[in-house]
Structure 1
Amino acid sequence: MKIILTQEVSGLGSPGDVVEVKDGYSRNYLLPQGFAILWTKGGEKQVTSIKRARSAREIRDLGHANEVKSQLEGLKVSLSARAGDGGRLFGSVTPAEVAAAVKSAGGPDLDRRRLELPGHIKSVGSYQVQVKLHPEVTAKFALNVLAGK
């Protein structure tokens, strides 16, 4: 089955890519999750708008990715979240909250889908977060989760 990806799917492609996948994979996973749409001639026109949106928020080249990596690795990112006794959070820290914390700490604007958190962050402490900036460049930075709010 031919589909058009609307989001990044690891091992398959980037938004705007037209790929051929098994029928069950697209029908049971990709389409219901909103990761893809069926390929049609009308859908082909959407590919240009998807690719244009992707290029606006994507890292331009390897040099730019290395520049963003050096900027991220020198950054001290703190995030305050509501916590109970013993440092246990009410809920967990989401990639969107981490991206907002990086932006407020003076870092670059990151796409939350490219952040790789070390599991579910459900307690106060220090964590290592990875960001896949480019297929060849991955940056790591320290995230300090504080009790607050």
Structure 2
Amino acid sequence: MKVILQETLEGIGNLGDVLDVTDGFARNFLLPRRKAVEASTRNVKEFEHAKRVAAERAQKERLEIEAHAKKISAVSLTIPVQVGKDDKLFGSVTNKDIADGLAAQGFTVDRRKVQLAHPIKELGTHTVAIKLPREVTAAVAVHVVKQQEEAPAEAAQATS
């Protein structure tokens, strides 16, 4: 009996495969559990149509995500940090800091999607990748700069 698989089955086949299986396997396992449908001409046409519609929807969604990636890539973040002697950072700039900076500019990004191999520990401009759905990535320029000193009068009051 010829059947069309409705889901991927380990050792049998993938979603959409048209297989020739024994009648008993189809009647007793695949069909009752809705893991496959009989490969009639009508079912084959329906499946091809559903596959075509899903591909069009996926393409449209990918274009929307790529447009969103272009908007994110146009953003330039400036993150002020405290520095010590010889411009050494106190701490580091992490993916959470970058996600918070993007959120402040109106882009909601999960901090786990910020692709940062290791935290940024030096001043300068760094390019950071943001992973989006459908294998789309956006690159954001992150400028790590010295935090401006607060008023010297406040520092003098704090020491007194």
TM-score (ref. length: structure 2): 0.51
Contact 1:72 1:107 in 2 (8 A): no
Contact 1:117 1:128 in 2 (8 A): no
Task: State the match for 1:69 in structure 2.
Answer: 69
Asked which structure has the greater CA Rg, the reply is 2
Distance 2:119 2:89 in 1: 11
Whether 1:124 and 2:128 are equivalent positions in the alignment is: no
- Alpha-carbon deviations, 1:21-76, whole Å to 9, x = none? xxxxxxxxxxxxxxxxxxxxxxxxxxxxxxxxxxxxxxxx3233212211111111
Runs of 4+ in structure 1 over 6 Å off? none
Task: State the match for 2:13 in structure 1.
Answer: none
Match of 2:111, as an amino acid?
R
Distance 1:87 1:135 in 2: 40
Whether 1:136 and 2:135 are equivalent positions in the alignment is: yes
Unmatched segments (≥5 aa) in structure 2: 1-60, 149-160
Contact 2:79 2:144 in 1 (8 A): yes
Contact 1:73 1:139 in 2 (8 A): yes
Distance 1:103 1:80 in 2: 16
Match of 2:119, as an amino acid?
H
TM-score (ref. length: structure 1): 0.54
- SS of residue matched to 1:119: coil
Distance 2:141 2:101 in 1: 12
Task: State the match for 2:101 in structure 1.
Answer: 101
Alignment root-mean-square deviation, CA: 1.9
Identity of aligned residues (%): 28
Task: State the match for 1:110 in structure 2.
Answer: 109
- Alpha-carbon deviations, 1:83-133, whole Å to 9, x = none? 1122211111111111111222x2411100000124221111110100110
Contact 2:76 2:141 in 1 (8 A): yes
Task: State the match for 2:88 in structure 1.
Answer: 88
Unmatched segments (≥5 aa) in structure 1: 1-60
Which of the two has greater strand per residue? 1
Match of 2:80, as an amino acid?
S
Higher relative contact order (CA 8 A, sep 6+): 1
Distance 1:86 1:118 in 2: 24
